[in-house]
Amino acid sequence: MADHSYDYDLFVIGGGSGGVRAARIAAGHGAKVALAEEYRMGGTCVIRGCVPKKFMVYASDYGHKLKEAQKFGWDVKIGEFDFPGFMANLHAEVDRLSGLYMSGQVNAGVDVFEERAEFVDAHTLKLVTSGKTITADKILIAVGGSPWRPSKDELPGVEHAITSDGVFQLKALPKHIVIAGGGYIACEFAHVFAGLGVETCLVYRGDTVLNGFDMDVRTEVHEGLKEAGVRVITNTVFESIEKTDNAEQPLHIKLTNDMELDADVVMMAVGRSPHINGLGLEAAGVTVGDRHEIVVDNYSKTNVENIWAVGDVTRRAELTPVAIREGHAFADTEFGGNSRTFDHDKIATAVFTQPEVGTVGLAEHEARKKYGAVDIYKTKFRPMKNMLNGKSERVFMKVIVRQEDQVVVGAHIVSPDAGEMIQMLGIAIKMGATKQQFDETCAVHPTIAEEIVTLKTKS
Ligand code: NDP
């Protein structure tokens, strides 16, 4: 295939979603491929992200469902939540998946090195544990990101806090948790812990969580957190975290608004950062941007002719399916004779709060800025199930339509199963469906989703 003076045609750094997809597809196209992973195969999504997080969401939600079941006639006795037992099941599944990721690579003919790789130069990598040096014609950086947190100088006592990585290592369920942040991770875990009966407090520096999302969605989620029993403190940040001898709540937190809180676990969910420290990008000559992201073009190529990057390390959209598509497009382009890019427009995404957020396309403020005149359709209603189970929780749906041609340019749902709904809706919106085509689609009754094709009133 390529230049045979190199050990490999392709060397992939990172065994997460983007890396394994690119390696497997490239090997399938006949390339000689190697991949290095310093921790465990599967990366953030499988090991300490989407997958174990979703299991925790399910665990939390079962608690709600057990209570609701009583109203549907079931004589349910709700006992204790067995946190260690649940975590053992969670980790067994994570182990199984990680094993599958490994066997998928091996079966595809990829040589896997279970150690850290760092650049020596643009074609050479050093394997840190074995000390081996390996050369490759093309190199793909797919090292992902890791939780960011302030330094000890910026936040005294920050070392007492965990991040999302640490949640999966907890040996016991916290009694009182304080979470810093108001993004995806903070909101998801606030619901998880509140649902598991943990006294949960969320501290956010802004006034409404989920910055960047549609304002109505933000308001729904913000209010939903409070309804779920989360104490939400806004417009402030941590000033210090101190360890005390209080056995029940050994962490004392001071906020910049002079409030003080006590907890047994403090979690920083204040963003993630590309995992590039010590990777040797300077030695390879790879350009890094202001947000520490590796700068790439539409083909995921860096400024260096033989080096590409996909996934969270590029910070285009920090989502697993995006990394997979970027990795696949790269492998097809470079090794499959099929030059193509991944289209980052109208990516449907979900936030696994309880209820979930499903969103695709533009938020209202973005649509107004981009197109000027837009029609907004929205509804809020109590779903049928809640009539019997006594829950006051409502579903919110919003569709944003470009006025000039009636094309739907955004849809936002806050509802149970919103993630499932938005995946389907994403197809229609990606295809450029109009509001009239939504209206012509017959409802599936009785469902929550049917409301999306019966939205009548412009707001
Ligand atoms: P986000 O960027 O979503 O949120 C970070 C939060 O921390 C924001 O509320 C931000 O405030 C706040 N923050 C940032 N810096 C500070 C600071 N110095 N002090 C106090 N607060 C601060 O990051 P996450 O870590 O939640 O998630 C990272 C990414 O991972 C997401 O953007 C998403 O792409 C992905 N992800 C996707 C999931 C999914 O698909 N369901 C689940 C989890 C993660 P402000 O809003 O004011 O900037």
Q: Is the CB of 350 inside a 6 Å radius of any atom of ligand 1?
A: yes
Q: Under a CB-based contact definition with an 8 Å cutoff, are residues 189 and 156 in contact?
A: no
pLDDT in tens, 243-276: 999 999 999 999 999 999 999 999 999 999 999 9
By C-alpha distance, which of 377, 389, 386, 400 is closest to 451? 377
- Give the pTM: 0.97
Q: Is the CB of 269 inside a 6 Å radius of any atom of ligand 1?
A: yes
Q: What is the CATH number of the domain that holds 98?
A: 3.50.50.60
pLDDT in tens, 44-57: 999 999 999 999 99
249 shares its domain with 297: no
Determine whether 445 is an active site residue: yes
Q: Under a CB-based contact definition with an 8 Å cutoff, are residues 135 and 220 in contact?
A: no
Which atom of ligand 1 is found nearest the CA of 320? Answer: 40
Label the pairing between strands 395-402 and 408-415: antiparallel
142 shares its domain with 280: yes
Could you give the maximum distance between any two Cα atoms of the chain, in Å? 72
266 shares its domain with 181: yes
β-pair partners for 360: 411
287 shares its domain with 238: no
Q: Is the CB of 233 inside a 6 Å radius of any atom of ligand 1?
A: no
Atom 2 (ligand 1) nearest CA: 271
194 shares its domain with 235: yes
Atom 17 (ligand 1) nearest CA: 270
d(CA 192, CA 61): 8
Q: Is the CB of 237 inside a 6 Å radius of any atom of ligand 1?
A: yes
Q: Under a CB-based contact definition with an 8 Å cutoff, are residues 428 and 437 in contact?
A: yes
- Residue 447's domain comprises 349-453
188 shares its domain with 300: no
389 shares its domain with 401: yes
320 shares its domain with 448: no
- Angle, CA of 270, 274 and 276, to the nearest 5°: 135
**Ordered mean pLDDT values, 10 residues apiece, the chain (459 residues):** 82 98 98 98 98 98 93 93 98 98 98 98 98 98 98 98 98 98 98 98 98 98 98 98 96 98 98 98 98 98 98 98 98 98 98 98 98 98 93 95 98 98 98 98 98 90
Domain's final residue, options 335, 358, 386: 335
Domain's final residue, options 223, 245, 270: 270
